[in-house]
Structure 1
Amino acid sequence: MSGCEPGEPTTRPPFRDPRLPLGTRVDDLLARLTPDERIAMLHQYAPSVERLGLAAFRTGQEALHGVAWMGPATVFPQAVGLGATWSPDLVRRIGEAVGTEARAMRARDPLIGLNVWAPVVNLLRDPRWGRNEEGYAEDPYLTSALAAAYTRGLRGDHPDRWRTAPVLKHWLAHNNETDRDTTSSSVRPRVLHEYDLAAFRGAVRAGAVAGVMPAYNLVNGRPNHVSPYLREHLRTWTDQPLVVCSDAGAPSNLIDSEHYFATHEEGVAAALLAGVDSFTDHDQDSSKTIGRVRGALARGLIDASTVDTAVRRLLTMRCALGEFDGEDDPYADPRGAGFDTPAHRALALEAAEQAVVLLKNDGLLPLSPSATGTVAVVGPLADECKLDWYSGSLLRRSSPREGLAARLGADRVVFVEGTDTVRLRTAAGWVRVPPPGVVAEGQARERAREAAQEAALNPAHATGRTDLPPLTIGDTPTDLALADWGGGVFTLRAPSGRYLTVADDGFVRAAAEQPGGWVVQETFALERHGDGHLLRHGGTGGYVCVAADGLKVADRSRAEVFHREVVERGEDAVARAAAGADAVVVVLGNDPHINGRETEDRTTLALPAGQDRLWRAAHAANPRTALVLTSSYPYAVGDAADALPALLWTAHGGQAAGTGLARVLCGDVSPAGRLPQTWYASEDDLPDLLDYDIIASRATYLYFDSAPLFPFGHGLSYTRFDYDGLLVRQDGAGTGDAAGALTVECTVTNSGPCDGDEVVQIYASAPGARVPRPHRLLIAHRRVSLRRGERVRLFFTVPVDEALGFWDVAHGRWTVDPGAYEIHAGASSADIRRTAALTLDGPPPAPRPVLRRGLEAADHDAADGIVFVDRTKARGDAVTCGDEAVGRLLFRACDFGAGATAVTVEAAREGTGGATVELHLADGTPLATVAVPPTGGRYAYTTVRTALTTPPAGVHDLHVTLRGALRLARLGF
């Protein structure tokens, strides 16, 4: 966030003079603020300062794939769909469009913020993560490349002024929603540096990131909101004064749920000292944060300079956004001219097309518009254009049915949703959806006003209408459409098209346009009870009962017994439509608000049983069946992949999803999307959701040892691409910290029948490495458009340390070993077309200098039964035993020199009972057993010195066994 060159003198205060350096302007403004005004700026909702002409400022505007929560905006594909494009150029242009719309919307509505909380760069380590839709990829290089592109678009190209100020989410190692504010991610140093930090590092170094948001979880026992990595790593990657914005409610979590500090004053002080600048807590009520900061100052936990440091970073961001420039702001858009433009609509369509991944094709696709007769478009998502929690409201929409009808003609498209048609009966009669009642004019007007306000703030939220009559019991049944979303969760929809939902008064009504909201009120489950079922409501956890004035939710003791009558099974309707069609497109997947979303992880990779039956029924009736999975995450669909001639995946593709899909299905566009994460054959292939050690658990494409259903980077085309002429050379230094660059070049030819895009992927591997290395590591890629018969020579330049290096725990640094490497060019991580060998010269790796440096417990090479914990509340890591109270560490190649005679153990022990640290060599030679006495607390370390029974000399592998409840920090010799 640099400044402008000084110019002629001005009568404006220095902070309002855009010709002055930015730092000068910020220092001037900071000096004009009172201590109380400075403290008030630490809250998300910073108040105005009228005497200086400062407007109120709010950190935080969601903009993950379009401006969100602020009403209608251009909706682009979900972030994981943007990841599937593998196109930094496209993602940058989308960032430009989103930033431009934010500016245009702000010109009409000051509630629109310019500090945008996007993109999410958490790696898609586990496809069961509820927020899988929000990330780009499981690979750190690809994630970082796309994040850098999106932030560049959001930021703009002006050298000094920012269109918007992007904040990366969520720092750090965050991939679980289950108990997300209290679980700790146990992250070893290699995973930390090579995987989790890497995703942030490249994007920050690219220079268009304004800050980060810490995640709710803990890392190695320490909450991310007091992470020392903010200071030790993040802020060393750039000279820009990055802003750290807390996640909502997380500052209070430090005490209320995590119990990490005793008082809120201690918590806010520790967060400020760690580097948090803006506190998103207690919604718009800033009084609690202000009171806590004042309390921390009064107790001497922080001083005024701590507050000033945070405020200076916030003011720097505001100044870079042009807030104090007036008419000189290059991004000012007083007319809102950059909103919902034809260019943005075309860009949304381009993104929807590029995000489609063709997983399998045995010749069914593309469908010939001239030779194909009737197409049956079936499934619960066949006529949907779903939004997610971080979407804006749709200005326009396109479902698969609509897209194919527009492309082929409405008379050639037959649509069947495939939901079961059911009736519900009680002992007293049938469940009935009454017609809308007559609502008093004043009540209707008030309800409309409330709904409009709610939609403006959050279009994803269900409005909970109370102006419609509740469901009743009567003699005439109402047919309801039951959709199975998996895990026993379903929705019910009335003939009016509205979903059954529950408002604040507890009554069940057919009132919702779509499932949505932070707490979804449109889901139900049937629990077997005698010869019938109880109907449990998902949003409240209550049960549907029959009251005098209609159906409502109550506790289980009042639950009504319902009997379900199936009027027609969805698969029967699908089979009929499929049998009479020339081809079938089955569209299955998820609703982004149900079963896998923020606050809710998935427990399975399987399709919902009801949906699984639909593709089977369609295929049995018509072998020319293509399955389109429209989802926020991968599924395990091995049977479908084996049986069906064509299989495609797309994330929820935004406003142009249906048109984009139809153009791919009909061959107007050759598909070129690529999987941004591994598709596993079963959840049995996955480690525990909370196992963040991808190396030990052999997770992601980097380490997975079995055959996936579809590999990372996979995606087919309607044309063919040939690879040849792969060359690689090293330019610059040899090995170590400054190892120069690799230049990789190869030729790609479109040898197939049509024009198309190819995603050329360059991987590196290190066969015979001394430490576990990835099977293949993506180091470069390019999405390139080639006409039929066109040939292109591609060049890639990659720093050697990024391509071939790893974090050397023995020496605490990034390193590149000498030896043999391979560079691969191909169409996926498993479809390698060409390989080139490379040998790096240099001295052999040095052993661990244990006599000089000792051994940090966290820097082990391998472990079993070990959990990482916080060494102190401020910084450092230690290790402790897991559930079995026995843990083992391995330190390879320890150089004991001429001989070590004693060991010092630095450890802490909170409880009673025995606790020991045992040392022996790889051949079983015992060295010492060190008893660790109680120290009075988990952070109260003691140092115990013990003579070695057999003093080792030379280089050996050292094994360390921990027994009992202790924390081991380090060993010295």
Structure 2
Amino acid sequence: MNEPWRDPLLPAPVRVADLLDRMTLEEKAGQLTGFWALPSRPGAPVAPMEDDSGEPAPRLDDLVVHGLGQLTRVFGTAPVTAEAGMERLASLQQRVTGAGRFGIPALAHEECLTGFMTLGATVFPGPLAWGASFDPGLVRRMAAAIGAGMRRVGVHQGLAPVLDVVRDYRWGRTEECIGEDPYLVGAIGTAYVQGLEGAGIVATLKHFAGYSASRGGRNMAPAAAGPREFADILVEPFVRALREGGARSVMNSYTDVDGVPAAADETLLTGLLRGELGFGGVVVADYYAVSFLETRHGVAGSRGAAGALALTAGIDVELPTARCYGEPLTGLVRAGRVPEALVDRAAQRVLLQKAQLGLLDPDWEPVKPEPVDLDPPENRALARFLAERSTVLLSNDGTLPLRPCRVAVSGPYADDPQAFLGCYSFPNHVALPGGPGPEVPTLGEALADAGFTVTADEPDVHVLVLGDRSGMFGRGTSGEGCDAETLDLPGDQAALASAVLDSGVPTVLVLVSGRPYALGSLAERASAVLQAFLPGQEGGAALARIISGAAEPSGRLPVSLPRRAGGQPGTYLRSRLGGRTDWSSVDPTPLFPFGHGLSWTSFTCSDLAVDPLAPTDGLVAVSVTVRNVGEVPGTEVVQLYLSDPEASVVRPERWLAGFGRVELQPGAAARVTFSVHADRTSFTGLDLRRRVEPGEIGVAVGRSSGDLPLQGSFTLYGPVRHPAADRVLSVPVEIVPVP
């Protein structure tokens, strides 16, 4: 082992510096591209505009002559068993390592938004369900299980989580988001990152930044966001997931903000991400995003020019395959039009990550193919538990929970098990209709297994299953490229629900959806309403357990549910003038607010105590007592909100500052204490610098953003403070049982 770069005992930067010195321009550029072996098969595309260029796909043998950065979705492109995928990956890696001078393997990446997106792997609940759980620890466990399966078969990187904060529910990719509040998104997203990274998989934060603010809720449309909204809402979850989660990869957004595409925005990808936030990992392009600079955004006149823009901005790896970062880019470098130092910069980042993953070690070899169970019983149990914890009981007149009786189960998704699955599940994303996939019981089947008599004749209760069928690019009512014009229930579902409610039979509405829908009077007429956000393959079993009372619905809304379909699509995170006023005839007040959710029992929240004073760099303790005053065990999600009655810029009417899940037996109580640092009141000021201002801060604690019975305040004193990049991002919560 005479070459330092091969020595695993040397520091990674020393190894990479030695390797870069030995590489040609083409070999360094080879590390900046991916390769995607797309199958020759009929059916719909598996990526946005995968044939957008109209050019023949590159051949692997042509690319690997100079080395290769990444292999794209070896498992997640076509139906293959785990063992067959391992064999395929090993074969591809042998071709990669056998072709170039250095024998460096490619990094293999896969999608993992609702689980490892491959045939036979567990399909977990989608991200809105993670948010609805208000349970970072459970989400961390799920991500660790996902990562363990990926690592077992030789995958290195997962393209998740999505940290886009929901701004317009009509956006089809709402189902891929965690919620409409940046603190909730940051807390849950960071937990996912910790679980995935803890399993040895590189987590990839998506989509940096502004994607969810696209105009009209249309996929890939230009984003409408000012600098304060961009910094304080859209970027905020990424800050926490990078610093507390340790994510090693970031993926750019497709959108452009104020005319600048994210893929070409040096201020965003280098100035903010690396300079201000201190990110030291690898930025990968969203699929075809580099090409889109030429073909969609129109800011580049050629493939090479698009590559130069993206590389200069800070995108290190072109995915899913090489088009702009190969010969078109190296040609510009050799012509003196692009500095070779930019190629060196990106190659260094890629090779440092490969060194961390052991891909530069002399004893590296592919994972040996063998049968692997990617859907073990413990995964299914975890998926069911998360589906239960994320189900939200919106309303209930006492009909739920049901005792065994005669139930009619109907609705467009009563017999469609794939309705429980998101667009980034393998069955909905890749497999053709009727193709292979996990066994997913329907709600009717699960209710029958729970002891109910499922019938269409003279039922005691009607269970009506409404919502979405997730798909891609118009092949569903929710999902990527499946945007909505209004928030009406899709198709004739509202009319169907009204007819069923007119029958006089007690009716439980079960919404299984990827976005919130306007229910209007339907919710008031129903005996009970349950909301499940694409609860995964165990969704039917979880819903049956909740309907029967075997499990508790302890989820809370991560997004508000609108009252009217045509009202302005807006979230709870708005200024006073963004809510109901006398100056507009449109009332955006939601039917059910952010954070809402009922239980089988009742709780009281009392004895608010707030430290009255703190410096602008200090801590404030906020404490309340929560008590289960019902007759059965239950879980309350205590939510802390702050407000700023007088600030130098317009602030949201209130914002979530902390939360805690409290499980209590009947009659039991706990003291819940939040430790609020002054940094949690910070915002972007007129000079676009983050600031903490002295003055009064309002405090409200309760069950949702619309149910806050305990009100108080504290005062920050001292000078205006400009917190640095290491500012406090989270609010710890302590839960102590009390008599």
1:129 to 171, 177, 197: 171
Amino acid in structure 2 at the alignment position of 1:698: G
Summarize the Cα distance change of 1:23–1:785 in structure 2 as closer, same or farther, 3 Å threshold. farther
Compute the displacement of 1:778 (Å).
0.3
Q: Secondary structure at the match of 1:684?
A: coil
Equivalent position of 2:131 in the other structure: 83
The aligned counterpart of 1:559 is none
1:328 and 1:836, CA in 2 relative to 1: closer, same or farther beyond 3 A?
Answer: farther
The alignment status of 1:352 with 2:395, answered yes or no, reads no
Please tell me whether the aligned partners of residues 720 and 750 of structure 1 are also in contact (alpha carbons under 8 angstroms). yes
Which structure has more helix as a fraction of its residues?
2
Mapping 1:350-749, distance limit 5 Å: 350-369=385-404, 373-386=405-418, 387-393=421-427, 394-409=437-452, 412-414=453-455, 577=456, 580-593=458-471, 594-686=476-568, 698=578, 706-729=588-611, 734-735=615-616, 739-749=617-627
Of 2, 22, 29, 1:39 maps to: 29
- Following TM superposition, by how much is the alpha carbon of 1:16 offset from its aligned partner in structure 2, in angstroms? 4.3
Structure 1 residues 581-626: Cα deviation after superposition (integer angstroms, max 9, x where no partner): 1111110111112133212310011123522233223222243111
Q: Judge conservation of contact 1:825–1:834 (CA < 8 Å) in 2.
A: yes
User: Quick check: 1:583–1:622 contact (8 Å CA) kept in 2?
Assistant: no
Query: C-alpha offsets along residues 799-856 of structure 1, whole Å, 9 cap, x if unaligned?
Result: 3122x122111x331112222211111110011132221112235899xxxxxxxxxx
The normalised TM-score by structure 1 is 0.62
Q: Distance in 1 between matches of 2:622 and 2:364?
A: 45
Q: Separation in 1 of the partners of 2:523 and 2:423?
A: 30
Counterparts of 2:273 and 2:576, CA distance in 1: 26
The 2-side partners of 1:42 and 1:596 are apart by 33
Q: What's 2:88 paired with?
A: none
Residues paired across the two proteins, number: 642
- Alpha-carbon separation, structure 2, partners of 1:31 and 1:74: 44
Does 2:296 correspond to 1:257? yes
| CA distances 1:775-805 after superposition (whole Å, capped 9, x unpaired) | 1100111223222222222232233122x12
Between the aligned partners of 2:708 and 2:576, the Cα distance in structure 1 is 25
The answer to which structure, 1 or 2, has the higher relative contact order (CA under 8 A, 6+ apart) is 2
Contact 1:74 1:392 in 2 (8 A): no
- Compute the displacement of 1:321 (Å): 2.4
1:506-530 Cα offsets, whole Å, 9 max, x none, are: xxxxxxxxxxxxxxxxxxxxxxxxx
* 2:168 partner SS: coil
Cα distance in 1 for partners of 2:647, 2:512 equals 40
Per-residue deviation at 1:232? 2.0
2:684 is aligned with 1:807: yes
Q: Post-superposition shift, 1:764? A: 0.3
More strand by share: 1
Q: What does 1:61-460 correspond to in 2, within 5 Å?
A: 61-68=110-117, 70-106=118-154, 113-156=155-198, 163-175=200-212, 176=214, 183-227=221-265, 228-236=267-275, 239-280=278-319, 284=321, 286=322, 288-325=324-361, 339-369=374-404, 373-386=405-418, 387-393=421-427, 394-409=437-452, 412-414=453-455
- Return the alpha-carbon distance in structure 1 between the equivalents of residues 220 and 440 of structure 2: 39
Q: Which amino acid aligns with 1:262?
A: G
Query: Does the CA-based 8 Å contact 1:749-1:792 persist in structure 2?
Result: yes
Q: 1:786 & 1:357 partners in 2: Cα distance? A: 18
Cα pair 1:747 1:793 within 8 Å, conserved: yes
| Alignment check: 8 A CA contact 2:228 2:688 kept | no
In structure 1, the gaps of 5 or more residues are 1-10, 107-112, 157-161, 415-576, 847-973
Work out whether residues 692 and 720 of structure 2, in 8 Å CA contact, stay in contact via their aligned partners in 1.
Answer: no
Structure with the greater alpha carbon radius of gyration: 1
| 8 Å contact from structure 1 (residues 100, 339) kept in 2 | no
Q: Secondary structure at the match of 1:185?
A: coil
SS at the partner of 1:837?
strand
Checking the alignment, whether the CA contact within 8 Å between 1:217 and 1:223 is kept in structure 2 is yes
Pair 843,169 (structure 1): closer, same or farther in 2 beyond 3 Å: closer
Correspondence for 1:829 among 675, 698, 705: 705
Matches of 1:670 and 1:769 in 2, distance apart? 41
Stretches of structure 2 lacking an aligned partner (at least 5 in a row): 36-66, 69-95, 428-436, 581-585, 723-739
One-letter code aligned to 1:133: E
3-state secondary structure, aligned to 1:232: helix
Q: How much has 1:298 moved relative to structure 2? A: 2.6
Identity percentage of aligned residues: 35
Amino acid at match of 1:168: L
In structure 2, relative to structure 1, the CA distance for the partners of 1:627 and 1:327 (3 Å cut) is: farther
Task: Report Cα offsets for 1:484-519 as digits up to 9, x if no partner.
Answer: xxxxxxxxxxxxxxxxxxxxxxxxxxxxxxxxxxxx
Check conservation: 1:385, 1:652, Cα contact below 8 A. Answer: no
Query: Partners in 2 of 1:155 and 1:731 — Cα distance?
Result: 39
**Cα pair 1:584 1:622 within 8 Å, conserved:** no
Q: Distance between the aligned counterparts of 2:289 and 2:539, measured in 1?
A: 35
Match of 2:718 in 1: 842
Q: CA deviation at 1:760?
A: 1.3
**Deviation for aligned residue 1:180:** 6.5
- Matching residue's letter, 1:749: R
Q: How far apart are 1:376 and its partner, in Å? A: 1.1
Hey, what's the Cα distance between the residues in 2 that align with 1:768 and 1:63?
43
How far is 1:53 from its partner?
Answer: 5.9
Partner of 1:816: 692
What is the Cα deviation at residue 102 of structure 1?
Answer: 0.8
CA distance in 1, matches of 2:422, 2:369: 30
- Give the AA of the match of 2:388: E
What is the rounded CA distance, in whole Å, between the counterparts of 1:727 and 1:328 in structure 2? Answer: 58
Change in CA separation of 1:58 and 1:237 when aligned onto 2, cut-off 3 Å: same
Deviation at 1:315, TM superposition (A): 1.6
In structure 2, distance between residues paired with 1:134 and 1:64: 8
Q: Give the structure-2-normalised TM-score.
A: 0.81
Amino acid at match of 1:169: K
Deviation at 1:399, TM superposition (A): 1.6
Distance in 1 (CA, whole Å) between partners of 2:368 and 2:377 is 18
Aligned Cα RMSD in Å? 3.0
Change in 2 beyond 3 A, CA 1:778/1:182 = closer
**1:90-135 deviation per Cα after TM superposition (whole angstroms, max 9, x unaligned):** 11111101101111233xxxxxx42211111111111100111100
Q: 1:230, 1:778 → 2: CA distance?
A: 28
Distance 2:398 2:140 in 1: 34
Distance change in 2, residues 1:118/1:336 (3 Å): farther
Distance 1:582 1:326 in 2: 69
Alpha-carbon distance between aligned partners in 1 of 2:120 and 2:612, rounded to the nearest angstrom: 51
Structure 1 position 638, deviation (Å)? 1.1
> What do the CA deviations read for 1:125-163 (whole angstroms, capped 9, x no partner)?
11100111100001111101111000111101xxxxx61
Q: 1:335 offset after TM fit, Å?
A: 5.7
Segments ≥4 residues shifted beyond 6 Å: 177-182, 326-329, 331-334
Q: Structure 1 residues 609 and 240 mapped into 2: Cα distance closer, same or farther (>3 Å)?
A: closer
